[in-house]
Structure 1
């Protein structure tokens, strides 16, 4: 998988965005031992809201990555707009910059370290995701030994 600006690279980045969203959402499930006051209200006002805002931001990045992946696969802006329930020009205005950044290989912010990892070592990044999927398999379906890397060219 040498070309990380093509469809396989976009799909790998989509997988990483889904991974990050999943991890953020999973972290919001447990109730910490000192999280609540005796009356059940939060000890740290705003903490749950901040966590939810991080999950929402990750969901937006996942959607952006999905648009880029679909566009690299030939999806027209009309299709993107139809799926998102917005006019094609709105979809284009909203997501064309992300597509252009991806195609150009523009470096991401430091907190997006894994995007650089995907570009630098896509095979290793895919195997990292294989490991993550296998650790989180719920037993309903056998994901196989390479659930991410096995599907990439």
Structure 2
């Protein structure tokens, strides 16, 4: 996709949609992890212990859950791109069967999200699944939001351009 011609109904490839979902999960993970860095003025007791026991652990659990969603999205992206279970297993240092058992449901959910909402899509209950389906079905909107996020968090990366996410999405050849 070029920066000057992002059509609202651009026919993005399944791999581009999977990569976008992975980018979204990375963004969520980064935001959760960054929130754990500052130490609030009233967070600690005078002895350095937490004033509200369990809150730090709950935050860490949310980061871990987000990291697992990011890993799932990365495996799905690799699968959509043609990687077999052996490749995924080798990278994760597990047997191919273990990789398939671990990620097959995520891949199936992604492929279901590709179906039109009025089709046989059974849908899943819960905000995360509904959001995932929206990201997959409306990639440009998500990509533009992620463009803004990346540009706000550049940290010295000045060569990202004005469309660091949407500019890299690949559209199907419609000719």
Per the TM superposition, whether the score is higher than 0.5 is: yes
Following TM superposition, by how much is the alpha carbon of 1:3 offset from its aligned partner in structure 2, in angstroms? 4.9
Shift of 1:97: 1.1
Equivalent position of 2:116 in the other structure: none
Could you tell me how far 1:108 is from its partner in structure 2?
5.0
* Structural RMSD (CA): 1.6
Matched residue count:
152
Deviations 1:94-133 (A, max 9, x none): 1011101111116455332532331342111100000000
Tell me which of 2, 10, 20 is aligned to 2:11.
2
4+ runs deviating over 2 angstroms: 1-4, 106-111
Q: How far apart are 1:141 and its partner, in Å?
A: 4.3
- Normalising by structure 1, report the TM-score: 0.93
| Bigger helix fraction | 1
1:126 maps onto 2:143 in alignment: yes
TM, length-normalised to structure 2: 0.81
Query: Is residue 53 of structure 1 aligned with residue 61 of structure 2?
Result: yes
Unaligned runs of 5+ in 1: none
State the structure with bigger RCO (CA 8 A, min sep 6), 1 or 2: 2
Query: 1:7 touches 1:69 (CA, 8 Å); kept in 2?
Result: yes
Match of 2:105 among 73, 97, 100: 97
Ranges in structure 2 where 5+ consecutive residues have no aligned partner: 1-9, 114-120, 171-175
Classify the secondary structure of the residue corresponding to 1:79. helix
Structure index of larger Rg: 2
